[in-house]
Amino acid sequence: MNGCPSGEQLEQFLYESLSPADSRAISDHVGGCARCQVALDERTSGAAVTTRTSVAASPTSADAEPVLSELLDRMRQAPPEPDRPAPAFKRSTEKIVFPLPPSPDAPLGQLDSYQILEKLGSGSGGMLFKAHDAKLDRTVAIKVLRHELAGLEIARARFEREARAAASLKHDHIVTVFDVVFGGDFPPYLVLEFIAGESLADRLRHEGSLEPRAAARIVQQVALGLSEAHERGLVHRDIKPSNIMLDLLPTSSRRSTTAGDIRAKITDFGLARSADAGTGLTMEGTLAGTPAYMSPEQLTNPKTVDGRTDVYSLGIVLYELLAGEPPFRGAMHMILRQVLNAAPRPPRQWNDKIPADLETICLKAVAKDSTRRYATAAELAADLGCWLAGEPIHARSIGPAERFWQWSRRNRPVAALSAAVVLLLITLAAVASIAITNVIRARRDSELAANAGLRARGDAREAREEYDASIRRASDKSPADLLVATAEAALALASDVKTPKDRADTFRSRAVEQLRAAIRLDPSHSRSSLWRFQLARQLKTQIAAMSDDGNDALREEARELVRAALAAPPAEVKLDLLKLQQELDAL
């Protein structure tokens, strides 16, 4: 399908009833076609729209959003650029005549030493051709400025700036500029490194989305290229899938998505600017970039952007590679409003197979507040490298509290009203709670007073019954049992952490004497073997704490106690007896 989409197709695009391929094709076309942007605005707002090259007018509701309203007013008041044909829905059919006629070696003609082989595509600023450099015997790409733009000073200046910006960069992930030619009757042109693959936008049109590792690898490579540009003081300002080329390695196939089979390269530095530049060549009021991929600060204060705006745009690219769709879509004013105010929907809500850590990296890169993003493209590349290597990432997902805080900053009036309502509800709840508490306390006090007499009379009776029970329990036990019970109580006090050390030693000595007395008093008691085990264990503790002198008698006593206990060992301590015997022998 050539030319602009029909009104019916635009309606289907708005209601998302097109196939993914058609939807993406229309979305790409609308991004560069003012006529279609106006048509979409008319269908979404119903407001009068001023036709111009880069934006359409805002609907009346935008007046309620000061930042967006100011931005759109500034754009409407900007001087219009000269009219030019809208970009084709697919490849442009515009032809260009080269200085030398076609020949068998140059099917489309010849430009200096470059034999033009075929047309690769075109954009709003120029046309791209595949050519053979007869002097150096290599395949190159030739980018020619459109005829209708060659006579415009601002267009030539931008084209020249792209040449200078790109020519100063030498990196594996940036398309190399070999030459730039100005002057003569032929429009200015660039001689570029030829990329055997396709653009990332083409790959998305074919596949919809990419496998997470392939997406992460591509974005990591682009981040490395951006890092080189940023270190040289250049901000690209127009990172998007169509400006990322996929150079196929020799062993890879045309449609390979394996992370190691492709090399991503950045192209089109036509909007690049020095990070410390005070002014740009873009006319006041126009947008420098593609709105769906532009950072909030690039919309509101484009003269002060730094490398973090490219980090944001690359984060949007990563989002699209994972989810299959960019986070913000629609007519121009809809996209601008979302970029400024709406948080992107987490990619895992589109596809729950996306790894959580990769989603965290993506959402950190597209944070509205530039201070919450990766500070540099190198940091983004490093975190993607950690994820690809299976190592912990540095980014952290935001919690509900931080997410609410960010929403509050973007929606201050609504947040203030919500806070006032919540505060009122809390105050009412607190007053009601205090009143209910006072009623409950008064009722409880009256019940306590009524039952106090009953408890007082019952306490004396219960105390008497407990005393009688203790007498009965004591009368049921033999004297030896009472001695052992007293010894166990002493050992419990000795083990209490609150008992001072000297008092604990006294309690242990008393327990030893009472256990000895119980065994002497009733050596054939049914629990005498257990008593002997307890006494032997306490003697072992004493032996360990004493010097070698004077502990032979205790050692022999403990061994004899263990031997006697093993003659009729209780089942619950038999193994402990054997272990204790070994320990005593080792002393």
471 and 485 within one domain: no
Mean pLDDT, the chain, as a whole number? 78
Alpha-carbon distance 328 to 324, whole Å?
Answer: 12
Same structural domain for residues 529 and 469? no
Q: Do residue 581 and residue 487 come from a single domain? A: yes
Q: Is residue 303 assigned to a domain?
A: no
Return the active site residues.
238
253, part of any domain: no
> Which H or E element spans position 391?
none
Residue environment code for 19-33, b if the CB has 16+ CB neighbours within 10 A, otherwise e: eeebbbbbbbbbbbb
Together in a domain, 487 and 568: yes
Claim to verify: residue 485 and residue 581 sit in the same structural domain: yes
Q: What is the torsional sign of CA 343, 344, 349, 354? A: negative
How large is the average pLDDT for residues 235-250? 88
What confidence tier does 123 reach under pLDDT thresholds 50, 70, 90? confident
Residues 40 and 62 in one domain: yes
The arithmetic mean of pLDDT across residues 538-550, rounded, is 74
Domain residues for 468?
411-475
Task: Kindly state whether residues 93 and 181 are assigned to the same domain.
Answer: yes
| Whether residues 507 and 447 fall in one domain | no
| pLDDT at residue 115 tops 90 | yes
Establish if 252 belongs to a structural domain: no
Considering the domain architecture, whether residues 59 and 131 belong to the same structural domain is answered as no
**pLDDT digits over 126-160, tens only?**
889 999 999 999 999 999 988 777 777 777 777 77
Domain annotation covers residue 20: yes
107 within some domain: yes
Neighbours of 488 (CB within 10 A): 14
Task: Give a yes or no: residue 245 inside a domain.
Answer: no
Q: What is the CATH number of the domain that holds 538?
A: 1.25.40
CA distance 388 to 386: 6
Q: Could you tell me if residue 70 is inside a domain?
A: yes
Please give the model's pTM, rounded to 2 decimal places: 0.58
Out of 437, 459, 475, a domain closes at: 475
Per mean pLDDT, which range of 88-102, 108-122, 204-218, 349-363 is the poorest?
A: 88-102
Which CATH number goes with the domain that contains 162?
3.30.200.20
Is residue 216 a part of any domain in this protein?
no
Domain boundary among 194, 220, 240: 194
pLDDT score of 71: 65
In terms of Cα–Cα distance, which of 502, 224, 493 is closest to 380? 224
Alpha helices in 94-196 (DSSP H): 147-150, 153-167
Per-residue CA distances from 146 to 87, 124, 189 (Å): 12, 8, 10
Residues 123 and 189 in one domain: yes
Task: Read off the pLDDT of residues 46-99 as tens digits, 9 standing for 90 and up.
Answer: 333 333 333 333 333 444 466 666 666 665 555 444 433 333 333 344 678 899
Q: Are residues 484 and 564 in the same domain?
A: yes
Beta-carbon contacts of 175 under 8 Å, excluding residues fewer than 6 positions away, are: 166, 192, 193, 195, 245, 265, 266, 267
| Residue 199 structure tokens | 């653009």
Q: What is the spatial distance between Cα 436 and Cα 7, in angstroms, rounded to a whole number? A: 65
Alpha helices for 46-199 (secondary structure H): 66-77, 147-150, 153-167
155-184 tens-digit pLDDT: 777 777 777 777 888 999 999 989 888 877
Q: In this structure, are 16 and 67 located in the same domain?
A: yes
Last residue of a domain, one of 169, 194, 219: 194
Query: Tokens 């089109």 identify what position?
Result: 268
Query: Using DSSP, how many helices (H) and how many strands (E) does the chain show?
Result: 20, 11
Specify the higher pLDDT residue, 343 or 319: 319
Q: Tell me how many domains the chain contains.
A: 4
Question: For the residues 208-227, what does the mean pLDDT come to?
Answer: 95
The residue with tokens 């992930």 is: 173
Predicted confidence (pLDDT) per residue in 484-526, tens digit: 888 888 888 888 877 888 888 888 888 888 888 888 888 888 7
